Structure 1
Amino acid sequence: MTEDVHLRRVPRQTRGQQRVSKILSAAAELFAEIGYDAATTNAIAARAETSIGSLYQFFPNKDAILEALSNQYKAELAELFSSLSPNPNSSVELMFGQIVDTVAAFYASRPGFQVVFYGSSADDELAEAADVLYQTIIASIDGLIDFYMPGLEPTRRTLSALVSVKAVKSLLPMAVANNGTINPYLITEIKTLVSAYLRTTLHK
């Protein structure tokens, strides 16, 4: 994100925190419904049932709202991945299956995440927000591969993480409908695909 995009005022009281939360939820809904470019701060304020003046107390512009939403998703993803404790008696393939389930559920329950995660090459701010989330997931997968295969050459390990995440990212929209319904058969196919890839590339 550009350096001048920050919260104008950090809410310290519960009421202010709730207002910011409503603004972010409203923004996520609108980004999912009409797209980031079409959403305006006025529309976001109206959806959040707050005045445009109240919105501007916290966010100087729409880019700042996007940054805050991206940071929220990043923190939630980090918490999710930290809860997936590696099991020494398991394998990276089985662990990745759990990750696919976790990411699919996260994706399905947050329509705004879908917009931010996939970004747009035509919008620098949205593309950068997408890259932040993408790199967060890749770093988590890289760490898991390192846990299960500590002797693996770092470049190969990171490449395996990148390809695995890219595959899941490409296929998720096919497995999760716009209304959040998850197709379990397609999720199973994604797991099979990525597990086969990891088995092949990591055990050469």
Structure 2
Amino acid sequence: MTKPTTMRRLPRQARGEQRIAAILQAAAQVFYEVGFDAATTDMIAQRAHTAIGSLYDFFPNKEAIAQRLCEQFCEDLRVLFEGILTDELVQVPLSQLIDDILDPLVQYHQTHPGFQALWLQSQGDPRLARMHQDLTEALTRKTAWIFARRYPKSDEASALRSSQICIRTVQALLPLAGDGPDLDSQIIAELKTMIQAYLQAVFGSESEM
């Protein structure tokens, strides 16, 4: 039998919203420390300093908590990338462009422990998988738009293909750096080097733009 993954009810007052925020923050920390499978609602309630009954007022199980967290992560990343992927990136040096895109993403991973483990766990949920796909497609289109204007000698198909490769590379390799505050900075540095070398090979050096 499939477990329900929706909230039991929405908060009606600020106090209820604060309780949900505390539960979600506690859940992210518990998922980070022990993993999704080992986590329990009792652990989450204890970390949130709330009664287990209060947790169940809003969430039927840990799967529903995980879904709400993933929805929050998706919205956070959408807003984050809207602020990052601006027209200014068309003119900055390539190394700065890569830093300006990756550094805020890395910082988000560092300040949101449990993101990686929970994100991988959520891929079996069709609705969350669709949210992730929509976010990836929007990010890919905007990055392709930036590439097309940075490198006017390239065609739109090349810009889109290169954007897809860069985005998928980051999604595939960033988990290797770990999760939470202890991300491996060397892996991040090598990921940046890889992307820069790839873009230079495809579009040419800065002097050839």
Q: Between 157-166 and 15-24, report the one with greater CA deviation.
A: 157-166
Correspondence 1:143-162 to 2 at 5 A: 143-149=142-148, 151-153=155-157, 157-162=159-164
CA contact (8 A) 2:70 2:122 kept: no
2:186 and 2:46 map into 1 onto residues whose CA distance is 39
Larger radius of gyration: 2
Correspondence 1:59-138 to 2 at 5 A: 59-84=59-84, 85-87=86-88, 88-90=90-92, 94-119=96-121, 124-125=124-125, 129=128, 132-133=131-132, 136-138=135-137
The residue that corresponds to 1:50 in the other structure is 50
Deviation of the 1:9 alpha carbon: 1.1
Deviation of the 1:7 alpha carbon: 1.7
Amino acid aligned to 1:75: E
SS of the residue corresponding to residue 108 of structure 1 reads: helix
CA contact (8 A) 2:7 2:60 kept: yes
Structure 2 unaligned regions, length at least 5: 150-154, 205-209
Q: Between 132-141 and 29-38, report the one with greater CA deviation.
A: 132-141
Deviation of the 1:180 alpha carbon: 1.4
Deviation of the 1:91 alpha carbon: 6.5
- Residue by residue, what CA displacement relative to the aligned partner does 1:14-45 show, whole Å, maximum 9, x if unpaired? 11011001110111011111111111112211
SS of the residue corresponding to residue 82 of structure 1 reads: helix
Structure 1's 120 and 15: CA in aligned 2 closer, same or farther, altered over 3 A?
closer
Structure 1's 143 and 3: CA in aligned 2 closer, same or farther, altered over 3 A?
farther
Structure 1 unaligned regions, length at least 5: none
Structure 1's 70 and 43: CA in aligned 2 closer, same or farther, altered over 3 A?
same
Structure 1's 96 and 112: CA in aligned 2 closer, same or farther, altered over 3 A?
same
The residue that corresponds to 1:200 in the other structure is 201
Q: What is the percentage of aligned positions where both structures have the same residue?
A: 34
Deviation of the 1:66 alpha carbon: 0.7
Deviation of the 1:62 alpha carbon: 1.5
Give the TM-score taking structure 2 as reference length.
0.77
SS of the residue corresponding to residue 38 of structure 1 reads: coil
Deviation of the 1:117 alpha carbon: 2.9
The residue that corresponds to 1:11 in the other structure is 11
